[in-house]
Chain A
C-alpha cells in the first residue's frame, strides 16, 4: 500500500539518483561551501586586517567634534545684581542635501528670519551637508522656523549675551559681538577671563547631522568663564544716569559724563555717559557712541582744578589761608595775554578765590607756588598717570611743563592740560579722604567658576597727597562754593553740607587750534562735606542754554547725591549731628604733623551713622552657590558654604541686619 502511494505520488520517477548525479550534487555542494569559505576569508580581511582603516573612515562621519562654546561669565554689580548674563538661544542650520527644493526652502526661511533670500540660497547651495541659516534667533523666529517643518533643519543652542538692565552702565560693560567676543568696555578688557575655554566634545552624529549622543556630556560649570563683580552700584548708577540725562537734555548739550566715587576706598560707584545705548541691540550704536568717554577720553577740566592748586600752595606754605590776593577788578595782563574773571573782584582770600572761581586770584596763588611745585602737585593728585580702571584705551592725560608765564596762569585754572573725568574725580576723592589718594577701581573681583579668585582689587592707597589738615581746610573752603555768594548755590542740599567746585572750561578747537566758544560745564560735589561719603562729578559737554557748571551740572550732582545718600542711609548733617561732627572735625582740625594718616572718613562716618557699616542680608534661597557668594561678597559679607548646588537655608535669615564682614552660612543642596 505504501509502495503504491509512492508510485503515485512520485509518478515521475522512482529512480534513485544515479552515481553521476550524486557526484555532481556533491560537487555543487562543495562549490557552494567553498564560496561560503571565500565569504569568511573576506570577513577576516575586513574585520581584522582592514579594521583600523575602515573604523577610522566610519568614525570620521559619525563622530564630530562639537565645539561647545564656553558660557561667558556674568558681570555683577557690587551687590550681585547681574548686569551682563549669558542665556542659551537657538541657532538654526540646515543640511542642504536633505532639502528637496533649495530655492523654495531658502525663500521660506528668509521670509521668516528676515534674511535676504538670494544670499541665503547661495549659502545653502554652497554648503554640502551644513550651512548656518541664522544664528542667535529670537524665540519667535525659532517657532516660525519650526512651524515650517522643513527636513534637514537643525537647531543648536548657543549662548547669547544678555544685558538685563538694558542701557544701564552700558558704556562700562561694553558689548559682545555675534561671534561672542567682547567689542568694547569690560567685555573687551576681560575677554580672556569672561570667555573661558570652549571645549571640544566628541559627539555622535547620525546621517541627518543631528547630534545623537554626546559622550560624557560636558559639565557646563567647567566651561563657564569667570564672573566679574564690579564696584558699581546698580541703584546709584541708575540715579546718576537719570540725572545726567536730564542735565544734558535741559542744557541741550551734546553729551554728558558722570562719575560717582567712594572717596574712602576709590571704588567707582557709578560711571556713565550720555547718550546711552542698549547693548542688547547690536548695531544700534556706533563704536564711537559706545565709547566710555568718562574713563577714556581726555578733556581740559577747567576750574575744577583750582582746589588742587590751593591745596598744594597751602600745604607748601606758599600762601596762608587768610592771605588776600588782589583780583585786579577782573583783568590781568600777562605778556600779550589778558586773564579775565567773569566778574570784577578786589581782594580775595583763597577761600574767596575758590568761591567765586577767580582766574586772576588763582594765577597769583600759582605764581606763589611756582612752576615745579604746581606740576608736582598735579602729578601728586594723580594727573598724568593712568587711573588703572583696567579699561582698554584709558587716557593718561598730559601735563606740559608751563614754561610761559601765561601757561602757568592757565594751568592754575585747568586749561592747557588734560585729564579724564575719572582722574579729576579721584583727585577730589583724595581731598575728601583727608588728603589720601586712593587708586580708583571699577572691578572688585574676578572669580572663576571653581571659586578661584583670579583678580581681587582692594582699596589701595596711592599716596598722601597733602596733609589731612590741608585737605580738610580745602574741603571747608569748597563748602562756600554752594553758598549764596558761590558759583554753585544750586548744589546746596537741605540737610547735608555740600562742598564742591564748578568748572566751565573752553573747548579746544581741533580745527582752528586755540580755544573755541564751546564749553564744558562741570561740577564736582563732595557730600556730606564734614565727612564725605561720596564724590559726584558731572560733566556736560557743549551746553547750549547756560554754559556755567554751577547752573548746568550742579543740579544733577545734587540730585544724584541726595538720592544716593538716602539710599546709603547716610544721616543728614545739620539737624542731627552738626554739633557733633563739627566738634569731631574740630578736634582733628589742628593737624598734628606727627600723627600718622588715618582713614578719618571711615571713622567719622561710623561715628556719625551707626547703621553705615550694617547691611541687610538678602534672600538667597534657591540661588546657585556661585551667585549667592558673589552677592554676599558684593555686600561685603563673608560667605561660608556647606555642600554644593543651590541655597537651601541661610543663616542669619534674610532681612536681618548685620555688620559688614559678618559671616553668613549657606547650606547648599543639588536640586
Chain B
C-alpha cells in the first residue's frame, strides 16, 4: 500500500492553455529582463547578461519545482501545510535578524544563501495559501463561525503580516491580507465579519501609513506624481512617460530609452513600463491576455476541483498571481501607490519566479485532477463524498 501521487503519471492531463500561458510569461520575462537590464548590468557588472543569466537559472529551478509539485500532487500539500507555515514563520523571523537578512533599498527582505537569495515573503505567500486552503477545507461549515472559522485565520495572518511589515514589505502584507479575505469569502465566512474587520482595520491601516512619513509621502506622490517627479513621484512619472512613449506599436524591442538609468529598477518592479515602452499597447494586450488565460484556467481549475481543498488552493494561487499582476501594472500606470510587488513570472527576481512557478505547478496539479462535468470519465479522483464504490 505505497502512497502514490493521486494522478497516475500517464493520467496527468496538463492544461495546455495554462501551461502555455505560464511558459509564455516566463519567456517574455526573460526577454524583457535582458532588454531592461542589459545597460545597467554592463555598467554595474561589466556583463550585459548578468541579470538574464540569473533569471534563466531561476526559471530552470522554477521548472523543476513546477514538475516536482505536479508529480507530487497538490493533495500531499495538505499534510505539509503546517510545516510549510512554520517554515515561513521561521524564515520571516530570520530575515529580520541583521547578519542573516540582507538589506537592499532600505528594506531587509533577503536571506543570502550561497548562489541564491531567498525572499521569505515570497515563500510565505505560498505557505499561507496552502495553510488557509487546508484549514478552511478542514473546518467546512464552521468557517462561518467567528471563533473557529474567522478568528484563528485572522490571528495567524496577522502575525505573518506584522512580520512582513517589519522588513518593511507593505506589498506582501497587503497580498497576504487580500488572499485571506478572498479565501474566507469563498469558503463562506460571514460577510459581516469580513466587512466589519475591514472597517475596524481602516483606522489601523491609516495609522500604519500616517505614522510613517515614508509611506505618507508615497501616497501623496501617488495622488499627484508630477509635482513630485524629481523625488518620490520620480519612478511613477518616469514609468508613465515610458508607457506613454510606447504608443500602440512600441519603440521596438531593445529601443526603449527609459532604461538608460531614468527608470530605476526597470528590470524588477517596473518591467511593465519597459514592456509598454518597447512593445507598445500590443505588447500590453498580449501580457494582459496571458494573465487573463491564467486567471480563467485557474478559476476553472478551482471550480472543477474534486474537493474544497483543491478548490481553495487553486483559487488562492490564482489570486496571488492575478492580484500581483493587477497591482503591479496598476502601480506602473499610476493607479496605485508603489507597493513593491513583482509582475508575476516576468519581473527579475529568483525567489519570486521560482516560487510562482512552483505555485503554477500546484495550479496545474489541481487542474489535472479536476473533476469536471465535461469529462467525468477521465477523472482520476474519487467522486464527491469519496465513498468507496
Contact = CB atoms under 8 A, between A and B. Distances in A.
**Bound pair (A, B):** yes
A5 B6 contact: yes
B323 to A, nearest CB: 7
Interface string B318-332: 110011011001100
Nearest to A129: B230
Given A54-B244, A55-B247, A15 B385 contact: yes
Interface in B270-284: 276, 280-281, 284
Contacts of B137: 12-13, 15
Interface string A7-46: 1111111111110111011101100110110111011101
B140 interface: yes
Interface in B359-389: 371, 380-382, 384-386, 388-389
A4 interface: yes
A119 interface: no
Contact of B323 (A22, A32, A208): A32
Interface residues of B, number: 75
Nearest to A17: B311
Interface string B254-283: 000110111000000000000010001100
Contacts of A44: 281
Interface of B is mostly: helix
B333 A40 contact: no
Contact of B333 (A29, A33, A42): A42
B292 A3 contact: no
Given A13-B309, A15-B384, A51-B245, A21 B187 contact: yes
A15 B134 CA distance: 12
B302 A25 contact: yes
Contacts of B380: 2
A62 B260 contact: yes
A28 B240 contact: no
Nearest to A47: B281
A122 interface: no
A177 B28 CA distance: 56
A12 B288 CA distance: 36
A8 B76 CA distance: 9
Interface of A: 1-18, 20-22, 24-26, 28-29, 32-33, 35-36, 38-40, 42-44, 46-48, 50-51, 53-55, 57-59, 61-62, 204, 206-208, 212
Interface of B: 1, 3-4, 6, 39, 73, 75-76, 78-79, 134, 137-138, 140, 182, 185-188, 237, 240-248, 257-258, 260-262, 276, 280-281, 284-285, 288, 291-292, 295-296, 298-299, 302-303, 305-311, 315, 318-319, 322-323, 325-326, 329-330, 333, 335, 371, 380-382, 384-386, 388-389
29 contacts: A6-B386, A9-B3, A12-B134, A14-B382, A15-B137, A16-B308, A16-B371, A16-B384, A16-B385, A17-B303, A17-B311, A21-B188, A25-B303, A36-B322, A36-B325, A39-B330, A39-B333, A42-B335, A43-B281, A47-B244, A54-B241, A55-B244, A57-B241, A57-B244, A58-B244, A58-B245, A59-B245, A206-B261, A207-B260
Given A6-B6, A29-B318, 19 more contacts: A10-B309, A10-B386, A15-B308, A15-B384, A16-B385, A17-B303, A17-B311, A21-B308, A24-B185, A42-B333, A46-B244, A47-B280, A50-B244, A51-B245, A54-B243, A55-B241, A58-B257, A59-B245, A206-B260
